[in-house]
Structure 1
Amino acid sequence: MENKLKNPVWYSLCETHHKFLLNYDEVKFYDPSICPFGAFTNTSKTVEALNEYSKLTDKFFLVSENKIPTYDKDKIRLDKKIDGCQMVLENLTDFDITEEVIPLTENHIDQIYNLVWLVMPGYYRKRTFDMGKYFGIFKDNKLVAVTGQRMQTDDFIEVSAVVTHPEYTRKGFAKQLSQHVTKEILNDGKHPILHTNKGNHAIQLYEKLGYRYTRDMNWWYFHKK
């Protein structure tokens, strides 16, 4: 599993998410309607791959632990490099879940999309829902917190989209949903992992749940010119 963790997008597209794969000669991308993420093994191959993928979507990411992608500056603009990190569950800290956690379905796709874009705009697509299971907490007849699953291989599943509506924070919703999704992954016989930005205050929450830092994982955010 260690090699897969070093390049999680790549191996997700090789294994569980192969049906979403767009392959560009040593560069792999998700279908942009699912998720605008790609990965690579050879930096010399990313120039042409980015040019081709940019014909399908205007904004997209390459994800890498330490390799630096190359790109055609006449056609592609690097918007920013997001310094991220990867965390893997070491020992789950168990606690009581007091809220009603609801499995989310196709009927909730618009609500998930709107909530994620309210809090973390930029990457989520409506069909990102197809990447894994999603769970939510409802208050006042509306979805106010959500957590789901994103990248997946034969060995691990990523916890993702840990989002709470700004009017409902500091109630423990993210903690409870993160634990619930983590347990779902363990019940499926896989290792829970997650990715977040360095310095994110949520890292403390994940550490309390039993996650530990494993490595840097950087997100290169590109725009088509």
Structure 2
Amino acid sequence: MYTMANLEEQLKNPVWYSLIETHKKFAVEFDGVLFYEQEVCTFGAFFNEEKTTKASNDYLETTDSFFFVSENKTPLVDDANVFLEKKIDGCQMVLNELPDVAITEEIVLLGDEYIDEIYKLVWLVMPGYYRRKTFEMGNYYGIFKEGKLVSITGQRMQTNLFIEVSAVVTHPDYTRRGLAKQLIAHCTKEIIKEKKTPILHTNKGNAAIPLYEKLGYELTRDMNWWLYRCK
């Protein structure tokens, strides 16, 4: 039903291609609009915005909010049932070349036993949209101090061609120690080992963008996040 695409085409609609490839098992479809299972991630993607109205109503029967992710299209929704809480003006960054980064910390591949700790740390620093089952989207790496998980970086959207670096979070008591830098570099190296392209998404003007650029990531395109809720 869906045709394969090259990397450039996939990066224009990363949620869509993740859901027809690597994350196919998490996909929920409503009339040609794709969403993640809401327990995993509340992202949706589309090509035809004329189909997003009914699909939004159907998906919101399973969750109270979700994001449509789109480079340059505006979704259409049923104003009687759905309202736009906010639009995040985001951007996509793609690795050009990873510089040498000294890894001085012990970086641990996090197993299922750390799901709750990851969830608590993400919600402490970036409360809102991370779900416990988001952990199932890809590998997570962490740094521990005094037996406590204090910094993480994970993988989120992915296909046969790219993997997204995400959930870059450090406990407020442990910032400015270069932990995030090392974790991003490590996660990026692991993606390269799989012969895939590392990417990431952030909001425009994010103070972390200069760090990402120092790690070899380049701004490539806008990627907008439309947050909808039930009325």
The question of a shared fold, defined as TM-score above 0.5 by the shorter chain, is answered with: yes
Identity among equivalent positions (%) equals 64
SS of 1:217's partner is: strand
SS of 1:4's partner is: helix
Q: Which residue of 2 aligns with 1:177?
A: 183
Q: What does residue range 142-161 of structure 1 map to in structure 2 within 5 Å? A: 142-161=148-167
TM-score normalised by the chain length of structure 2: 0.96
- Measured against aligned partners, the alpha-carbon deviations of 1:129-181 in whole angstroms (never above 9, x if no partner) come to 10000000111211110000000011000000000011110000110000000
Letter in 1 for 2:97: N
Question: Paired residue for 2:47, among 29, 41, 44?
Answer: 41
Question: Paired residue for 1:89, among 81, 87, 95?
Answer: 95
Question: Paired residue for 2:203, among 197, 220, 225?
Answer: 197
Give the distance between the partners of 2:161 and 2:182, measured in 1 at CA: 24
Give the distance between the partners of 2:33 and 2:129, measured in 1 at CA: 19
Q: Which residue of 2 aligns with 1:27?
A: 33
Unaligned runs of 5+ in 2: 1-6
Q: Which residue of 1 aligns with 2:22?
A: 16
Q: What does residue range 45-84 of structure 1 map to in structure 2 within 5 Å? A: 45-84=51-90
TM-score normalised by the chain length of structure 1: 0.99
Give the distance between the partners of 2:32 and 2:10, measured in 1 at CA: 15
Letter in 2 for 1:151: M
Letter in 1 for 2:115: I
Question: Paired residue for 1:135, among 133, 141, 151?
Answer: 141
SS of 2:192's partner is: helix
- Measured against aligned partners, the alpha-carbon deviations of 1:104-150 in whole angstroms (never above 9, x if no partner) come to 01000000000001111111100101000000011121111000000
SS of 1:72's partner is: coil
Letter in 2 for 1:134: Y
Letter in 1 for 2:72: N
Q: Does 1:221 align with 2:227?
A: yes
- Measured against aligned partners, the alpha-carbon deviations of 1:50-107 in whole angstroms (never above 9, x if no partner) come to 1000010101100000000011111111100000000000011111101110110100
Q: Quote the offset at 1:26 in angstroms.
A: 2.1
- Measured against aligned partners, the alpha-carbon deviations of 1:22-51 in whole angstroms (never above 9, x if no partner) come to 011221000000100000101110010110
SS of 1:22's partner is: strand
Q: Does 1:162 align with 2:206?
A: no
SS of 1:83's partner is: strand
SS of 1:170's partner is: coil
Unaligned runs of 5+ in 1: none
Report the aligned-residue RMSD. Answer: 0.6
Aligned pairs, how many? 225
